[in-house]
Structure 1
Amino acid sequence: MSEPAVDVRPRRLSGRQPQVAPARLVAELVPPPRFAAARFETYRPDPQEPSQAAALAAMRGFAERLSAPPPRKGLFRRSAPARAGRPGIYLDGGFGVGKTHLLTSLWHAAPKPAGYGTFVELTHLVGALGFAGTVDALGTLRLLCVDEFELDDPGDTVLVSSLLTRLVERGVALAATSNTLPDKLGEGRFAAEDFLREIQALSQQFDAVRVDGPDYRHRDAVEAPEPLDEDVVRERVEAHPAATSDDWPTLLGHLASLHPSRYGALLDGVEAVGLTGLAAVPDQNTALRVVVLVDRLYDRSLPVFASGCPVDQIFTPEMLAGGYRKKYLRALSRLGALAREGNALR
């Protein structure tokens, strides 16, 4: 006998008011469902991009060092790791070159307890637990993986850099990724230099590893998918009991009423998302909230049925030329992939 479909009432994201306890934020510091099966063995380096095979070897080596028993110091306190090599590794590269796959593979291969979260999730955790509380919550980890380390907000960069410094002092090993802009890929170690400069006191703790190549999400489909008709969106939502349907402006207003740390819980029980009336977002604050929502959609591999403007037009040219460009380009890449998955569903 088949199990009943998940009930996601109300079938509008804008009708949901999820509550998230701080303990859940800590418990969810694990790789996203999309990468649950990612392992070093399943990473397929592009033969045309030798840096990918080199990055795989570097991450394997880092995992092996972490698994070696660390030296003891005293009876009750673990000192900073004194293994050969630095306690941190940083993957520098463009969008869709497999950095998250490698980072997730490292998490799976590393001794536990280990934590995994995006840069934004760490800032949300500090907001929920406070700085000292976050240090205590993460200070017992053997490894913390930080995906999508962002350098576009000086305050958040200093906050997370300070947090990671305290964790290294407690013996926590670190692994991080960040993105080089696509049009900067030919400029040597552009992003790596930015990263190491901005984290200042931590810079000597990281080995930087370059990962080159094209965005795999664009290898077979460079352009954004065609928007669906509004009636088609509604039909597909009705055909999927665990799908939701929201008018884009209404959803944007609802996101403004929720702390971004609750966006993941907003999607509990949801298996697909319908969006009608897609249009360019009106301001930067709204755009940044959309980035967080897209990341949570992508983490959960939720197909998107969208009508209105093409998904690659939700951020204005001015936004794409501004300081948050990396965030927006990543979001467009991910939303385009989800929309293609949605268009392929019937």
Structure 2
Amino acid sequence: MTDLQPAGPPLALTARVPAVDPARLVAELVPPPHFASASFESYVPDAAHGSQAAAVARLRGAAQTIGRPAASSWWKKRRAQPEAVYLDGGFGVGKTHLLAALAHAVTAAGQRAAFGTFVEYTNLVGALGFRQTVDALAAYRLVCIDEFELDDPGDTVLMSRLLRELADHGVALAATSNTLPGSLGEGRFAADDFLREIQALAARFDVLRVDGDDYRHRSVEHGEALPDDVVQAVAAGRDGATLDDFGALLDHLATVHPSKYGALLDGVSLVGLTGVHAVRKQDVALRLVVLVDRLYDRDVPVLLGGGGTDELFSQEMRRGGYRKKYYRALSRLGALASEGAALAAAAQVRPAPGA
């Protein structure tokens, strides 16, 4: 074990104010690094759940249809009913893997496929405006929406309208919904809710049921809290690491549009946070959720000082309308914090005497 002797001041996320060209926001709509190699071949259907193999077969067919080159300039107008599929299943059955595999297959066929989470698309509308977003996405053959969220009526209506306009432009659509970790009832299957919310488009979507158990056997993890001085020392000793006071970072996030949170993490290999504490305000908590999603997409480990994830979101928040977001964030942040704690252990850093 070594004493704390920081090598120098690491970077700080609070010192970053990213300026993002709108073209970059659109260009980044690709499967995240976590699913960069996802394919139909690498998805192993559970023989006990035939719906998994059936979903793979259906999506392979969809990829072939969507991937065919346009025969003429009026191809889109002739295809009045482009492909539209919705993957309906429980937590951890591989829906995102399959969605990413579909995007990769269409891209491999020489066509353009956009892939993003529900939040990324709503943030894109916020950054570009609705009409510019439609124009940008209409150039794609396929638009994939991961974790379609039904907890914000305004955003749901916005996304429903966006999907309708894209479908009218001949763009194929594919979506999944977010689910609660370990849920056995509410939130496990959301097809009825999804179809009700998209209303005019409901008849166009082919619902693919993906049954099965959570292949990760994952529950909400509680990120291990580290002493703040350990967080500081580990961050100081790693290239590309950042170090921030948790409260200061939350304040900074309010000054950066959520569509730029990905750019905020450019070149970051590790995020160190000191003084982690409970978040009491919902708007602050929701911004944190978006940041955690971008960290998870990029597989960036996190060092959590202070209280870690313990009581990060209140019981009231976890019972409220945005509970799915908070449970997802806790699960993801817990996993990233476990990776960060492992890095700290490997660095053989110990707390300062009396810490």
Structure 1 length-normalised TM? 0.89
1:321 equivalent in alignment to 2:307: no
Counterpart Cα distance in 2 of 1:200 and 1:35:
30
Do the aligned residues in 2 keep the contact of 1:93 with 1:179 (CA within 8 Å)? no
Structure 1 pair 341–294 and aligned structure 2 pair: CA distance change class (3 A): same
Do the aligned residues in 2 keep the contact of 1:81 with 1:87 (CA within 8 Å)? no
Q: Secondary structure at the match of 2:176?
A: strand
Task: Read off the aligned partner of 1:240 and give its amino acid letter.
Answer: R
**Cross-structure match for 1:200:** 199
Offset at residue 284 of structure 1 (A): 0.5
**Cross-structure match for 1:4:** none
Offset at residue 230 of structure 1 (A): 1.7
Counterpart Cα distance in 2 of 1:76 and 1:64:
20
Structure 1 pair 183–32 and aligned structure 2 pair: CA distance change class (3 A): closer
Q: Secondary structure at the match of 1:240?
A: coil
Counterpart Cα distance in 2 of 1:226 and 1:214:
27
Offset at residue 201 of structure 1 (A): 0.8
Q: Secondary structure at the match of 2:55?
A: helix
Q: Secondary structure at the match of 1:278?
A: coil
Give CA-to-partner distance per residue, 1:30-77, whole Å, 9 cap, x none: 1112211111111233445443333323322221222345675xx546
What are the residue-to-residue correspondences of 1:151-300 with 2, within 5 Å? 151-182=150-181, 184-186=183-185, 190-219=189-218, 223-300=221-298
| Superposed CA RMSD | 2.3
**Cross-structure match for 2:31:** 31
Q: Secondary structure at the match of 2:305?
A: strand
Offset at residue 187 of structure 1 (A): 6.6
**Cross-structure match for 1:18:** 18
Do the aligned residues in 2 keep the contact of 1:70 with 1:82 (CA within 8 Å)? no
Counterpart Cα distance in 2 of 1:196 and 1:183:
23
Q: Pick one of 89, 106, 125 that aligns with 2:102.
A: 106
**Segment drifting more, 57-66 vs 96-105:** 57-66
**Segment drifting more, 93-102 vs 264-273:** 93-102
Counterpart Cα distance in 1 of 2:231 and 2:211:
37
Counterpart Cα distance in 2 of 1:147 and 1:266:
22
Counterpart Cα distance in 2 of 1:340 and 1:215:
20
Counterpart Cα distance in 1 of 2:284 and 2:78:
41
Task: Read off the aligned partner of 2:134 and give its amino acid letter.
Answer: V
Task: Read off the aligned partner of 1:226 and give its amino acid letter.
Answer: E
Counterpart Cα distance in 2 of 1:327 and 1:170:
31
Counterpart Cα distance in 2 of 1:129 and 1:285:
21
Offset at residue 314 of structure 1 (A): 1.2
Structure 1 pair 46–271 and aligned structure 2 pair: CA distance change class (3 A): farther
Do the aligned residues in 2 keep the contact of 1:248 with 1:275 (CA within 8 Å)? yes
**Cross-structure match for 2:350:** none
Counterpart Cα distance in 2 of 1:275 and 1:165:
41
Do the aligned residues in 1 keep the contact of 2:88 with 2:190 (CA within 8 Å)? yes
Q: Secondary structure at the match of 1:275?
A: strand
Structure 1 pair 43–229 and aligned structure 2 pair: CA distance change class (3 A): same
What are the residue-to-residue correspondences of 1:332-343 with 2, within 5 Å? 332-343=330-341
Structure 1 pair 189–275 and aligned structure 2 pair: CA distance change class (3 A): closer
**Cross-structure match for 2:137:** 138
**Segment drifting more, 196-205 vs 206-215:** 206-215
Task: Read off the aligned partner of 2:168 and give its amino acid letter.
Answer: E
**Segment drifting more, 58-67 vs 328-337:** 58-67
Structure 1 pair 81–145 and aligned structure 2 pair: CA distance change class (3 A): same
Aligned residues: 333
Give CA-to-partner distance per residue, 1:138-181, whole Å, 9 cap, x none: 11211011111111111111111111111111110000110233
Task: Read off the aligned partner of 1:152 and give its amino acid letter.
Answer: D
Structure 1: which 5+ runs fail to align? 1-8
Give the share of equivalent positions with the same residue, in percent. 62
**Cross-structure match for 2:56:** 56
Q: Secondary structure at the match of 1:250?
A: helix
Task: Read off the aligned partner of 1:230 and give its amino acid letter.
Answer: D
Offset at residue 190 of structure 1 (A): 4.3
